[in-house]
């Protein structure tokens, strides 16, 4: 995004206050500087649940809030900002003279940067940013805690792709997006009233907890209407090596938005870690990008002959393959660090073991887990499962952030239909809901004929998308126990539960410890208990710092 497309309104006084902490004040992509990591992390955490931009958030809730003691924690001296710039230049010279001569790429993993990318599309650009398996930790503005009914200069906040806007579909595209956002906004009051009547406040719940829980419920339901083009904010913390790889991938995206975002990120990263992100623009980086681009285009062309006319219209989680000898592999790996046998010898030994002996080893390895935060050991990484999943985009959006597994999705389409939340039916809003979703479907199909990649921007989160997960049993443990907790979204809770059920069916002896804390219950007002716990922590903080 170019500088002229984005301008936040700060007074001259505010600009002077903010200038030391960001690499720019007038672009939607910027790096955080001159702040302790604990402040950056706290700021990003608050960012994910706020409608404000990061710079406005820092100013309003940190710098100008006396309770935060920001001036005592962070230097606000303009001189230190200048000295930091000089130090970066000297560090680049040091790197060029000494470290690059050794060709040690791993050095780039030791330089960390916090970067914010604001007003990016939540299903295409945001997911491109969050796609790295390791090296980058993302935080995104949540559709569960923030309303998306605001307008900026009279316009709803969704991405207007330049290819669509110059294709002749611009009028239809904006009409469809506006109708989706109008419907989303229109349904907030009646659905909120319905949810509060269905789940009345009890005496043991504070006003704050009740409002937060019911708001989250309404957000969860209505986010189905939000299109993939909906603008969001993403904060990233990552190392230089990971950013280099991310930029290489983004530079060859078929989407203009992602390529422009790569340019903006590169410009800002050059200001703070120039030595570690220089290769995406040299011959080595260009060659890497060409390799990625040509491979993807070639496979895309080949795949045109592998299309099915079958279209499932129901949510599913299917176990496609798994290790038949999972127990042997896991038990051998449990014993391996404490044995002097080779792995092949151990597997032969375990294969001959009786059931009682195997159970004893597994019991000693996994039985001491008292809470889900007690991570099962690495031996459980020795067996794998592949799941094919068809669920609404909103569920994919949440689960895509699990990086310690292999996952890939198909193109976002309207081919598999959309979910109709039961609460929408119960409060008799289904006519308006269906009208908006069908409008989006018709527009998508028209744009897809000429622009299959760009047409994805039209599709709302309620439409289904297909993707697969390939994950080891240790990650099964993490994903299913975390994503089945009571406060989770209904859709991804069901996916987590189905994965756990499938693993338990195939490998009961292993699943006993790997899915020990999976919550199989259903909850009506998912966030309520969590909000009550937050009330308790708020009171503890008040007492601690009174």
Q: Quick one: pLDDT at residue 133?
A: 81
Q: Quick one: pLDDT at residue 145?
A: 86
CA-closest candidate to residue 126, choices 231, 46, 4: 231
Q: Is 269 exposed, middle or buried (0-12, 13-18, 19+ CB in 10 A)?
A: buried
Q: Quick one: pLDDT at residue 4?
A: 43
Contact predicate 227/440, CB 8 Å? yes
What is the topology classification, in CATH, of domain 317-408+465-531?
Gyrase A; domain 2 (3.30.1360)
Structure token digits, residue 539: 């009171």
49 C-beta neighbours (distance < 10 Å), count = 13
Contact predicate 387/320, CB 8 Å? yes
The ranges assigned to domains in the chain are: 3-144+233-303, 160-229+420-461, 317-408+465-531
Taking the C-alpha atoms of residue 29 and residue 6, their distance in angstroms, rounded to an integer, is: 10
Residue 516 has φ and ψ, to the nearest 5°, of -60, -35
Q: Quick one: pLDDT at residue 80?
A: 53
Q: Quick one: pLDDT at residue 268?
A: 96
Q: Quick one: pLDDT at residue 92?
A: 56
Question: Which residues in 2-34 are b (16+ Cβ under 10 Å) and which e?
Answer: eeeeeeeebeeebeeebebbbbbeebbbbbbbb
Q: Quick one: pLDDT at residue 530?
A: 87
- Strand locations in 206-301 (E): 231-239
3-state helix, strand, coil in the chain (%, to 5): 55, 10, 30
DSSP-derived secondary structure for 479-511: HHHHHTSTTS-HHHHHHHHHHHHHHHHH-HHHH
Q: Quick one: pLDDT at residue 2?
A: 46
Q: Quick one: pLDDT at residue 82?
A: 46
Q: What is the pLDDT along the chain (546 residues), one digit of tens a residue?
A: 544 445 678 999 999 999 999 999 999 999 999 888 878 888 888 888 888 999 999 999 888 887 777 777 665 555 555 455 445 555 555 555 555 444 556 667 777 899 999 999 999 999 999 988 889 999 999 888 889 999 999 999 999 999 999 999 999 999 999 999 999 999 999 999 999 999 999 999 999 999 999 999 999 999 999 999 999 999 999 998 999 999 999 999 999 999 999 999 999 999 988 888 888 999 999 999 999 999 999 999 999 889 988 888 999 999 999 999 999 999 999 999 999 999 999 999 999 999 999 999 999 999 999 999 999 999 999 999 999 999 999 999 999 989 889 999 999 999 999 999 999 999 999 999 999 999 999 999 999 999 999 999 999 999 999 999 999 999 999 999 999 999 999 999 999 999 999 999 999 999 999 999 999 999 888 888 888 888 888 888 778 776
């Amino acid at each position: 995004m170019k500088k002229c497309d984005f301008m936040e309104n700060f007074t001259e006084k505010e600009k002077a206050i903010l200038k030391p902490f960001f690499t720019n004040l007038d672009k939607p992509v910027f790096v955080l500087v001159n702040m302790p990591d604990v402040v950056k992390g706290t700021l990003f955490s608050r960012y994910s649940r706020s409608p404000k931009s990061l710079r406005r958030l820092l100013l309003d809730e940190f710098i100008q809030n006396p309770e935060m003691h920001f001036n005592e924690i962070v230097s606000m001296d303009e001189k230190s900002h200048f000295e930091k710039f000089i130090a970066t230049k000297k560090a680049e010279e040091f790197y060029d003279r000494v470290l690059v001569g050794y060709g040690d790429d791993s050095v780039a993993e030791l330089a960390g940067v916090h970067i914010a990318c604001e007003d990016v599309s939540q299903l295409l650009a945001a997911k491109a940013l969050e796609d790295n398996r390791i090296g980058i930790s993302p935080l995104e503005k949540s559709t569960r805690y923030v309303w998306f009914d605001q307008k900026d200069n009279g316009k709803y906040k969704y991405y207007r792709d330049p290819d669509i806007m110059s294709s002749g579909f611009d009028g239809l595209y904006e009409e469809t997006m506006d109708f989706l956002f109008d419907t989303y906004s229109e349904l907030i009051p009646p659905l909120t009233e319905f949810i509060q009547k269905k789940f009345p406040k009890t005496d043991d719940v504070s006003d704050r907890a009740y409002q937060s829980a019911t708001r989250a419920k309404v957000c969860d339901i209505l986010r189905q209407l939000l299109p993939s083009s909906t603008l969001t904010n993403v904060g990233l913390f990552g190392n230089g090596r990971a950013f280099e790889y991310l930029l290489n991938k983004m530079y060859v995206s078929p989407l203009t938005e992602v390529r422009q975002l790569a340019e903006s990120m590169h410009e800002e990263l050059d200001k703070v870690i120039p030595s570690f992100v220089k290769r995406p623009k040299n011959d080595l980086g260009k060659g890497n990008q060409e390799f990625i681009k040509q491979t993807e285009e070639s496979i895309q062309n080949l795949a045109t002959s592998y299309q099915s006319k079958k279209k499932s219209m129901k949510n599913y989680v299917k176990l496609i393959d798994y290790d038949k000898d999972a127990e042997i592999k896991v038990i051998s790996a449990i014993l391996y660090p404490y044995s002097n046998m080779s792995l092949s010898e151990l597997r032969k030994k375990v294969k001959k073991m009786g059931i009682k002996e195997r159970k004893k080893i597994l019991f000693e390895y996994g039985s001491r887990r008292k809470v889900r935060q007690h991570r099962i050991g690495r031996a459980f990484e020795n067996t794998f499962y592949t799941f094919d999943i068809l669920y609404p985009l909103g569920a994919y959006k949440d689960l895509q952030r699990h990086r310690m597994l292999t996952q890939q999705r198909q193109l976002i389409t309207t081919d598999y239909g959309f979910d109709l939340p039961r609460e929408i039916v119960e409060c008799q809003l289904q006519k308006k809901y269906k009208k908006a979703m069908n409008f989006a479907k018709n527009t998508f199909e028209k744009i897809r004929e000429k622009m299959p990649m760009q047409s994805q921007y039209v599709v709302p989160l309620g439409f289904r998308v297909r993707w697969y997960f390939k994950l080891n049993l240790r990650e099964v443990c993490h994903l299913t126990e975390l994503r089945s907790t009571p406060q989770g979204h209904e859709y991804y809770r069901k996916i987590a539960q189905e994965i756990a059920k499938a693993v338990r069916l195939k490998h009961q002896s292993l699943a006993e410890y790997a899915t020990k804390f999976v919550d199989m219950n259903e909850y009506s007002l998912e966030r309520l208990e969590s909000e009550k716990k937050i009330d308790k922590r708020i009171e503890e903080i008040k007492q601690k710092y009174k």
